[in-house]
Amino acid sequence: MELLNHIDGRWVPSTGEGMTDVNPSDVTDVLGEYGAATEDVAQSAVAAAAAAFPAWSQSSVQQRFDVLDRAGSLILERRQELGRLLAREEGKTVGEATAEATRAGQIFKFFAGEALRGGGELLPSVREGLDVEILRRPVGVIALITPWNFPIAIPAWKVAPALAFGNTVVLKPAELVPACAVELVRILEESGLPSGVLNLVLGSGAVVGDALVRSPSVSAVSFTGSDVTGRGVAAACAAAGKRVQVEMGGKNPLVVLDDADLTVAVEAAVNGAFFSTGQRCTASSRLIVTAGIHDRFVDAVQRRLATLTIGHALEAATDIGPVVDRRQLDKDLEYLVTAAQEGGEVLGGDRVDRPTDGFFMSPALVLSTTNEMRINQEEVFGPVASVIRVENYDEALTVANDTRFGLSAGICSTSLAAVTHFKRHAEAGMVMVNAPTAGVDYHVPFGGSKASSYGPREQGSYAREFFTTVKTVYVNPGQIDQQSP
């Protein structure tokens, strides 16, 4: 199947370098092929979004509600089919993928409501006789650049608020997962979105991503991806005076204290570190464990890992699907070699043979690590977690915060004092108590601190900060002829 760009309501091919969309559970299964979009294609997508902006930004909130609500319903009706597509394209298990599709549907429903709750305030002025209106206005054409690890949820949580608040969009999904983005755009088209309001370009970040970031007609960029790329995008936007929102990586700590419930801590660690093949920005990649529970915790995690089935993402029995592609698999395995060279004891982390030719590896637990090691400072983004043994809570908190990242941080403990202190002092945008570091609801703000995020939060009612601009209006009502038409 040929995967196409979507520009001004038409599905159009591109003549750039040929790209193949392959199932990471079985490389003989090809989902589609496409020619990478060229800079010209990106510019025509921006032009279409700019032409559609005046009408969409003036559209009624009822129209926006209807489109987004319908899209949410269609996604939820088709969640099983979308889940299978997503599992085939990205490699998370079909259960995880169906849950992701469900979340995308819920996001559209939530932002349908946000269109109605558009916002704005009316305040009295300190000057006699004046009122002050604070209006929320659409920003303009917004470029949305997304990573491969949540191929439908991340496009959904950027597209839905952008449209709800009257902006027009060019979406550029990651090169590895174009098919999910194509389906999402089809659904919005079927939901009655006017032509040109949402445009899709399939291609490389260096060519079309960069062209979108630099286009003078793009007013804002919302990016999710690696920190190296994200920092470049933020710098380019700042230089051009564009609004920018950048969500990047993590090196998320899960602290396990002596007084933790062992079963809860093991489930939080295994789920947080290894589910979705560890390919989550919020994955618990550093397990920081106090001495009194360390050996029992490590034993229990190993026993739990031994129960997990690694295999084809579409097989119902699979707990851990493949790594997304060969490049990421090689990177994961290289990090384990480095960890061993630096003194870590690597358990698991082996290539696994399955009946199909996919990028399978067993979960890796790296013991006896210190926080200075590369495995604890750099984001691996695979089914890899390391254990850092510490003496007490104070040392655990110091180690947890000793990272340039600050996305999510977790603690497993039954001590109110420790939990309360951790909530206040963990340097992270999200804190989880007796729960995995990964997994955030669709109606609450999502984002981090330090090198993990830059710009306003995503999701929930906080999304309004990025996707609207504020206009302050003074009105002297006494001078207005109330009888005039």
Rounded Cα gap, residues 57 and 224, in angstroms = 25
With the C-alpha atoms ordered 133, 138, 140, 145, is the resulting torsion angle positive or negative? positive
Rounded Cα gap, residues 423 and 165, in angstroms = 33
| Cβ proximity of 266 and 300 under 8 Å | yes
Min dist. Cβ of residue 412 to ligand NAD (A): 23
- The active-site residue out of 96, 175, 183, 247 is 247
* Alpha helices for 176-279 (secondary structure H): 178-190, 210-214, 227-240, 262-274
Inter-axis angle of helices 79-90 and 94-116, nearest 10: 120
Min dist. Cβ of residue 309 to ligand NAD (A): 25
Query: Closest CB to ligand NAD among 371 and 452?
Result: 452
Query: Closest CB to ligand NAD among 106 and 224?
Result: 224
By the criterion CB under 6 A, which residues form the site for ligand NAD? 145-150, 172, 174-175, 204-206, 209-210, 213, 224-226, 229, 232-233, 247-250, 281, 379, 381, 407, 452
Min dist. Cβ of residue 328 to ligand NAD (A): 8
Query: Closest CB to ligand NAD among 210 and 258?
Result: 210
Rounded Cα gap, residues 91 and 10, in angstroms = 30
Q: Return the DSSP state at 441.
A: -
Return the percent helix, strand and coil in the chain, to nearest 5.
Answer: 40, 25, 35
Q: Is 180 a catalytic residue?
A: no
CA 313 and chain centroid, separation: 20
Query: Closest CB to ligand NAD among 319 and 379?
Result: 379
Min dist. Cβ of residue 286 to ligand NAD (A): 14
Neighbours of 206 (CB within 10 A): 9
- The active-site residue out of 281, 379, 412, 458 is 281
Min dist. Cβ of residue 70 to ligand NAD (A): 27
Query: Closest CB to ligand NAD among 248 and 384?
Result: 248
Residue with tokens 């700042």: 238
Q: Return the DSSP state at 458.
A: B
Comparing CA positions, the residue from 298, 307, 288 lying closest to residue 411 is: 288
Mapping DSSP to helix (H, G, I), strand (E, B) and coil, where does residue 380 land? coil
Whose CB is nearest to ligand NAD? 205
Query: Closest CB to ligand NAD among 102 and 252?
Result: 252
Query: Closest CB to ligand NAD among 213 and 265?
Result: 213
Min dist. Cβ of residue 82 to ligand NAD (A): 18
Q: Is 281 a catalytic residue?
A: yes
Rounded Cα gap, residues 382 and 350, in angstroms = 12
Min dist. Cβ of residue 400 to ligand NAD (A): 18
Structure tokens at 24: 């990471």
CA 234 and chain centroid, separation: 17
Residue with tokens 């007609």: 217
Catalytic residues: 247, 281
